[in-house]
Amino acid sequence: MISLQDRRCEQSAVAAELERIGGRLMMLFMTSSGAARELFAIVRADTSTIRLRSTITGDSYPALTPRVAAAHWFEREIHDLWGVVPEGHPRLEPLVRHGPEQGEIALPANGDVGAEHRGGERLSGPGVFVFPYGPVRSGVFEAAQFLVQTGGEDVAYCAQRLFFKRRGAERRICEVPLELAVLVAERVSGTSSVAHALAFSHAVESLAQTEVPVRAQSIRRVLAELERLYNHLEVAVRECEDASLSVAQAQFAALKERLHRLAAEVVGHRFLRGAVIAGGVRVDLDASAVDLIGDTLRDWERDFKRVLAVLLRTDSFLDRLVSAGPLSARDARDFGCVGPVARGSGIDTDTRRELPYDGYPTFAVARHSDGDAMARMEVRFAEVDTSLALIREALHSLAAGPVHNRVGAFVSDTALGAAESARGETLYWLHAAGADALGFCKLRAASFVNYGIFNRVFDSQVLTDFSFIEHSLGLSPAGCDA
Amino acid sequence: MIKWFVRGVTRRRLTTRYPRAAEAPPARFRARALLDPDAVDPRSAAACAAVCLPGALGADACGRLRLDAGRCIACGLCVDACWDGSLTIDSGYELATTSRARLVVGEQARASDGSTRPLGGVFRRSLHIRHIDTGSDGAVEQEIAALLSPYYDMHRLGLFFTASPRHADALLVTGPVTRPMEQPLRRTYEAMPEPRVVVAAGTDACSGSFWEAPEVLGGVDRVLPVDVYIPGDPPSPIALLHGLLLAAGRVREVSPPHPEPQPSAAKMSSG
């Protein structure tokens, strides 16, 4: 259960208040009750989580983005969905809406667009062109579009366009019966099913004040860390593919496949779906499953370490990643980045520790100060070790008892649920409507905030590094688009 | 680099022998729900249909329970709710079919239309595939990418991904079709030379699953003629291989194991 400090202020004072609080803007969204529209900002300060509310009167309010850069995409989303204008937003183009009105490619018209894009030289003149890459991309990728402005080699500017895949998950979660809604959450970002199911379930459990049995907590940790392992491996596979290291690619892919097979053996699903539900879990780990996980991961770790040791001595791999796609600690902090992307830039953030859940023990959060693609990879490789240790600890501490508590009637009106996916902090904000139904859901996947800095990491980079940089961020368009 | 070479040639062979030999899924693997229409008790049927999020379970025109495997997300909730034994979990891999109607179990008219060999098998020797994501959850893409991993190695079967739709024989579509992806999907299809096959990979692509929203058009067949349906949420790599080989006309469809059990290994055609 996440305890929130409640604060309220005038719509003209939100930006100043956010600046005063400092910290990281986790979410910013709008809801309505009757005719009144309310702006919600959820902020993570040093030791507390603050909910800042402000009633919006009229069809506009002073934009927060010029003073709080992390609000940039949230405010564009609010503008798209509610028609409310954040006055003074540096780049108020459609974000989540796709339609005829957005047929033409729009790049920022002038050189500097305020807080969203500080610095960075803009190119203009003959020979400079915009190369639209996507949404149908070469190879097997999810739908996303990148508008690369280039003179041939240097990337002058790279704008990302997402939300091709928006399926309306937030609304669907509220429409379906509560006990089935977790199935929707699992499929928002199909590779982070456990994290999304956990974040959603945490919010539901918080609404109903349901305790999760200790045994279920341990099982949840095993599943969540298993999911982290294969997602981190996926990034390694992609990076090796980009570096044309076929053997490394094949061996990481084989290691990843072994994890999916383990998941299918234990849970019956290769992406661990159908396990986490509000109140606990649907699958129990019997002694044979515990042994299977332990034995498989022991062999797996040995093989992984061997491949990794060779990879970290392969110059053609290191050359491409070191200094590619740098993200400064200041940008990572200002734009509220999460997950390995933030930790690769030295930011000490991890939901498992900031908003503790499911009985995670204390562990060292892997960080790196370089901020480049290699730093993000090293954070992931270090997290593989952490995850393996956490799985062992969870299997060891598997207490006897039930794995599920019934979720009772809702006793709270609103709740925040959080979980750390392989990509970073995943959030669900829920409003109860009655005793067992949801009236409003706002989800924010890690990729939503991490995609926001996509253009910044391409400042003064070259086109040939595009895929290295993109994959080092390890983003999920499905999660971002929801 | 020599280290990689040594590692590459000294590891043992991992690759499946599928489709020459059957691949056994893990015992607990959930591919889809299976319905025995003769065992249905109406009260149990109502309880099962109530927990089916995508509406795969429902009554047909005669009021009998039917199961649409093209909508099933294999969550297993109906099996938990069922007490007459009519619903079970199928762990089979070979689910692909050339006919949408054949995915529906228990329907009065068991469809027997549609060739089991699309286009007479003109792509038997090699199939070049263009993938397009029209709103998937991202897991199908990873299962498709896994086909290139040593465990599945689709190149050994003459299956290749191609960057350009101009070079493609098959369009592999994942995800329910969202509105912004409708035009890119049509344009990719139109850019492909004929003959061409369209493969809908995953429950989302087969039917739109539970994504009933103004943003989502539904299954791929709302936009394009689909030749092969591969249900699954997401379909496993072997299921994808089976579907792609079916599109190439190299394996036959496999009927669901219940109520008439069938051998599960696909037979290589003599062609």
| Residue A345 confidence (pLDDT) above 80 | yes
| Residue A118 confidence (pLDDT) above 70 | no
pLDDT for B86:
85
Closest chain A residue by Cα to residue B211: A167
In total, how many domains does chain A have? Answer: 2
Please give, rounded to a whole number of angstroms, the shortest distance from the CA of A175 to a CA of chain B. Answer: 10
Overall average pLDDT of the B127-155 stretch: 93
Overall average pLDDT of the A45-73 stretch: 90
Overall average pLDDT of the A400-416 stretch: 92
pLDDT tens, residue by residue, A260-294: 999 999 999 999 999 999 999 999 999 999 999 99
Contact B32, B72 (CB under 8 A): yes
Contact B223, B177 (CB under 8 A): yes
Out of A96-100, A327-331, B63-67, B192-196, which region has the weakest mean confidence (pLDDT)?
Answer: A96-100
- CA–CA separation, B79 and B87 (whole Å): 5
Band of pLDDT at residue A461, cut at 50, 70 and 90: confident
Partner B, chain A 177-236, Cβ-Cβ below 8 Å: 179-180, 183-184, 187-191, 193, 234
Task: Give percent above pLDDT 90 in chain A.
Answer: 64
Closest chain A residue by Cα to residue B176: A167
| Residue B109 confidence (pLDDT) above 90 | no
Overall average pLDDT of the A251-266 stretch: 94
- Comparing A1 with A64, the larger pLDDT belongs to A64
Band of pLDDT at residue A129, cut at 50, 70 and 90: confident
| Residue A115 confidence (pLDDT) above 90 | no
* Closest among A446, A468, A11 to A245, alpha carbons compared: A468
Q: Which two tokens stand for residue A371?
A: 């901020």
Q: Do A256 and B140 touch (CB under 8 A)?
A: no
A95 and A196 within one domain: no
Q: Of the candidates A184, A268, A478, which has its C-beta nearest B136's C-beta?
A: A478
Residue A189 lies in a domain: yes
pLDDT tens, residue by residue, A82-96: 889 999 888 787 888
Out of B44-48, B68-72, B128-132, B163-167, which region has the weakest mean confidence (pLDDT)?
Answer: B44-48
Overall average pLDDT of the B223-241 stretch: 93
Out of A82-86, A111-115, A378-382, which region has the weakest mean confidence (pLDDT)?
Answer: A111-115
* Closest among B219, B215, B220, B174 to B71, alpha carbons compared: B219
| Residue B264 confidence (pLDDT) above 60 | no
Out of A65-79, A87-101, A304-318, B254-268, which region has the weakest mean confidence (pLDDT)?
Answer: B254-268
- Comparing A109 with A378, the larger pLDDT belongs to A378
Identity of the residue numbered A402: P
**Do the strands B197-201 and B170-174 form a parallel or antiparallel pair, or are they unpaired?**
parallel
A428 and A314 within one domain: yes
Contacts of B144 in chain A (CB under 8 A): 140
Q: Do A98 and B180 touch (CB under 8 A)?
A: yes
pLDDT for B118:
63
- Comparing A94 with B264, the larger pLDDT belongs to A94
- CA–CA separation, A226 and A203 (whole Å): 22
Contact A299, A423 (CB under 8 A): no
- CA–CA separation, B53 and B62 (whole Å): 22
| Residue A109 confidence (pLDDT) above 50 | no
CATH code of the domain containing A43: 3.30.460.80
Overall average pLDDT of the A372-391 stretch: 95
Mean pLDDT, chain A, rounded, equals: 88
DSSP A408-433: -----SEEEEEEEETTEEEEEEEEE-
Q: Do A139 and B161 touch (CB under 8 A)?
A: yes
Residue range(s) defining the domain that contains residue A260: 169-453
Contacts of A307 in chain B (CB under 8 A): 7
Contact B106, B255 (CB under 8 A): no
Band of pLDDT at residue A149, cut at 50, 70 and 90: confident
Q: Which two tokens stand for residue A281?
A: 């879990």
pLDDT for A123:
59
Overall average pLDDT of the A454-461 stretch: 82
Q: Is A119 on the interface with B (CB under 8 A)?
A: no
- CA–CA separation, B246 and A330 (whole Å): 53
Out of A75-79, A100-104, A329-333, B52-56, which region has the weakest mean confidence (pLDDT)?
Answer: A100-104
- Comparing A230 with A96, the larger pLDDT belongs to A230
A177 and A84 within one domain: no
- CA–CA separation, A421 and B25 (whole Å): 27
pLDDT for A124:
66
pLDDT for B110:
45
Neighbours of B50 (CB within 10 A): 13
Overall average pLDDT of the A175-192 stretch: 93
Neighbours of A48 (CB within 10 A): 12
Closest chain B residue by Cα to residue A141: B141
Residue A123 lies in a domain: no
Q: Residue-wise over A352-367: b if at least 16 C-beta within 10 A, else e?
A: bebbebbbbeeeebbb
Closest chain B residue by Cα to residue A163: B180
pLDDT for B63:
74
Residue A78 lies in a domain: yes
Band of pLDDT at residue A28, cut at 50, 70 and 90: very high
- DSSP label at residue B158: T
Orientation angle between helical segments A373-396 and A287-311, nearest 10 degrees: 160
* Whole-number CA gyration radius for chain B: 19
Out of B95-99, B119-123, B153-157, which region has the weakest mean confidence (pLDDT)?
Answer: B119-123
Contacts of B209 by beta carbon, 8 Å cutoff, 6+ apart:
A187, B54, B71, B73, B176, B203, B233
A357 and A253 within one domain: yes
Task: Give percent above pLDDT 70 in chain A.
Answer: 95
Band of pLDDT at residue B266, cut at 50, 70 and 90: very low
| Residue B194 confidence (pLDDT) above 90 | no
| Residue A458 confidence (pLDDT) above 90 | no
pLDDT for B112:
47
A214 and A84 within one domain: no
What's the length of chain B?
271
CATH code of the domain containing A246: 1.10.645.10
| Residue B91 confidence (pLDDT) above 60 | yes
pLDDT for A250:
93
Out of A109-113, A379-383, B18-22, B82-86, which region has the weakest mean confidence (pLDDT)?
Answer: A109-113
Identity of the residue numbered B20: R
Q: Do A253 and B211 touch (CB under 8 A)?
A: no
Cis status of the peptide bond prior to B231, with omega within 30 of 0 = no
Band of pLDDT at residue B114, cut at 50, 70 and 90: very low
pLDDT for A114:
39
Q: Of the candidates B11, B29, B179, which has its C-beta nearest A268's C-beta?
A: B29
A207 and A60 within one domain: no
Contacts of B176 in chain A (CB under 8 A): 167
- CA–CA separation, B42 and B57 (whole Å): 12
CA dihedral A115, A120, A125, A131 (to 10 degrees): -90
Residue A213 lies in a domain: yes
**Do the strands B127-133 and B159-161 form a parallel or antiparallel pair, or are they unpaired?**
parallel
pLDDT for A121:
47
Dihedral sign from CA coordinates of A408, A413, A419, A421 = positive
Please give, rounded to a whole number of angstroms, the shortest distance from the CA of B108 to a CA of chain A. Answer: 29
Please give, rounded to a whole number of angstroms, the shortest distance from the CA of B133 to a CA of chain A. Answer: 5
Closest chain A residue by Cα to residue B177: A165
Probe site for chain A from B57, B137, B160, B209 (most A CB atoms < 10 A): B137
Domains and CATH numbers, chain B: 32-92 (3.30.70.20), 118-247 (3.40.50.12280)
The CA–CA distances, whole Å, from B234 to A193, B83, B200, B240 equal 12, 27, 12, 10
Q: Do A172 and B76 touch (CB under 8 A)?
A: no
Contacts of A244 in chain B (CB under 8 A): none
Q: Is A301 exposed, middle or buried (0-12, 13-18, 19+ CB in 10 A)?
A: middle
Q: Of the candidates A180, A254, A266, which has its C-beta nearest B150's C-beta?
A: A254
Q: Do B29 and A266 touch (CB under 8 A)?
A: no
In the block, residue with structure tokens 């609304």: A171
Neighbours of A124 (CB within 10 A): 10
Contacts of B217 in chain A (CB under 8 A): none
Residue A157 lies in a domain: no
Contacts of B135 by beta carbon, 8 Å cutoff, 6+ apart:
A143, A164, A165, A166, A167, B175, B176, B177, B178, B181, B204, B211, B216
A430 and A333 within one domain: yes
Contacts of B34 by beta carbon, 8 Å cutoff, 6+ apart:
B67, B87, B88, B89, B90, B105, B256, B257, B258
A398 and A257 within one domain: yes
Mean pLDDT, chain B, rounded, equals: 84
Residue A128 lies in a domain: no
Contact A143, A136 (CB under 8 A): yes
